[in-house]
Amino acid sequence: MDRRQFIKQSTFLTLGGLLIPSTLLSSCRKENLFEDINFDGTVMIIGAGAAGLYAGYILNSKGIDFKILEASNTIGGRMGKLNGFADYTIDTGAQWLHGQNNILADLIKTKNVKTTLDESELSYWFNNQIVTSLPKDPFIFEEENLPDVSFKDYAHQQGFGNEYDNIVEAIAGDQGASASLLSAYWNSKDEENWVSGDEDFKFQKSYFEVIEEHIAQPILDKIVLNTPVQSIDYSSDKIIVRDVNNVSHLADKVIITIPISILKLNEISFNPGLPPEKTEAFAKFGMGPGMKVFLKFSSKFYADVLYGGSICGAYVNDTIGKLTSDNVLLAFVMGDQAAYLHSLGSDTAITNALLQELDLIYSGQATTSFIASGVFDYTSKPFIKGAYGFSTINMGNAREIAALPVDKKLYFAGEAMNTNGHHQTVHGAVESGYNAVINLLDDLKK
């Protein structure tokens, strides 16, 4: 699936063996980044998703003491894997490397990780038939000077009738959003900063295993699982991080990498309270429901990528780039469609709803060849509660404000905190974790 329809050109700096976009380092003194740091304090990282893991990976490389507190019983955040469902490892969360001009892609190259360019052709379910082209091109959301209205409203303003609604929903879903909530203007402004490249790659193994092996493995002894954080007191020189078991953890700096959905709900209390402009910025983010359902069949009767379902906006062949003889179709469900499936209340009901739609599209072939399903509803995960952050109407500069450090003590990372257009991606989360460490180290020099 092409996540981006265009490529941005940029210059890159080579620092410490990593290719770093120059825009990523704009907030710090780049020339000082890899000098020796005389810091004997402790850094506490909240969250063991991609951002937290990579922040720990960099701190570890510099010999800085740190600990990662993870609320759930596993690492990875919105990444995960499923073994035994198929004859290859299923990525239950992130699956695509979006572009090759980013930190993570550079690491993958140095580790000789095998990837495959995803050149899947896009088909559409349109006016009750499968077509490979449409009367009008629906990819209209990357133009300049778009109004600050929703994707759905902008499409209607441009003369797209209701028959295009499910396709527009799929396009918005690629951003983790409902078409009625995602801002055409602010999303296009986000896209202007995208420098990673316009090609998507699948992993021969799994994306999760790449992160697990090459980033998490060296720091596993620093990760404490099943430890949700309840409060952060940064009123004194030593920061007190208290978990739900009433255990206090002392730190000199804290990197917070929890999803924007959790920050919006104020599930961690701060003393003193965060600046009002920061909590107001959190509130402006969107983070809607998100779900991935893997459907295993005895035959491949489906297109590699199909947009336009009313139950699921995007169906994708999951086996691209895999060494497999199985047939696995991914239902990639976001926004209002994910909320509807979530409301059905059981994996069986969710699966049946998808099979019914696929039977309509493919003349009954889904039910007759169905073997098994795996449902992964990120809305129901208590420490995630959604897909990923997106730009809403009236978003403004909320992303930049949200990502700013507080009092040279608190640093914020995670995909939503990526300010160079790479939010909603694993490499964007990694970049934000890296950037948080940059800012932290930079503050030590001031």
Instruction: Determine the pLDDT at residue 217.
Output: 97
As averages over each run of 10 residues, the pLDDT of the chain (446 residues) reads 36 35 38 63 98 97 96 97 97 95 93 95 97 97 93 98 98 96 96 92 94 97 98 97 97 98 96 98 97 98 98 98 97 98 97 98 98 97 96 97 98 96 95 96 85
Instruction: Determine the pLDDT at residue 17.
Output: 33
pTM of the model as a whole: 0.92
CB neighbour list of residue 302: distance below 8 Å, 6 or more residues apart: 315, 317, 329, 358, 362
Quote the crossing angle between the two packed helices 103-110 and 426-444, to the nearest 10°: 100
Nearest 10 degrees: Cα torsion 307, 312, 313, 314: -50
Tell me 150's DSSP state.
Answer: B
CB neighbour list of residue 372: distance below 8 Å, 6 or more residues apart: 85, 295, 296
Closest CA to 305 of 170, 182, 168, 128: 170
One-letter amino acid at 199 equals E
Instruction: Determine the pLDDT at residue 36.
Output: 66
Between CA 76 and CA 54 the distance in angstroms is 11
Instruction: Determine the pLDDT at residue 215.
Output: 97
Instruction: Determine the pLDDT at residue 33.
Output: 54
In the block, residue with structure tokens 């790659």? 201
Q: Exposure of 316 by Cβ count < 10 A (0-12 exposed, 13-18 middle, 19+ buried)?
A: buried
Between CA 280 and CA 153 the distance in angstroms is 25
* Three-state DSSP class for residue 82: strand
Plot region of 349 (φ>0 → left; ψ -120 to 50 → alpha; else → beta) = alpha
Instruction: Determine the pLDDT at residue 213.
Output: 96
Instruction: Determine the pLDDT at residue 444.
Output: 87
CB neighbour list of residue 202: distance below 8 Å, 6 or more residues apart: 95, 96, 97, 115, 116, 118, 320, 321, 322
H helices within 45-164, ranges in order? 50-61, 103-110, 151-157
Between CA 429 and CA 417 the distance in angstroms is 8
One-letter amino acid at 338 equals A
Instruction: Determine the pLDDT at residue 7.
Output: 29
> From residue 91, how far is each of 60, 81, 114 by CA, in Å?
27, 5, 15
Domains and CATH numbers, the chain: 12-77+207-286+391-444 (3.50.50.60)
Q: How many CA within 13 A on the CB side of residue 92?
A: 18
Closest CA to 336 of 140, 145, 150: 150
Q: What share of the chain is helix, strand, coil (3-state, %, to 5)?
A: 30, 25, 45
H helices within 298-424, ranges in order? 335-343, 347-361, 365-369, 398-403
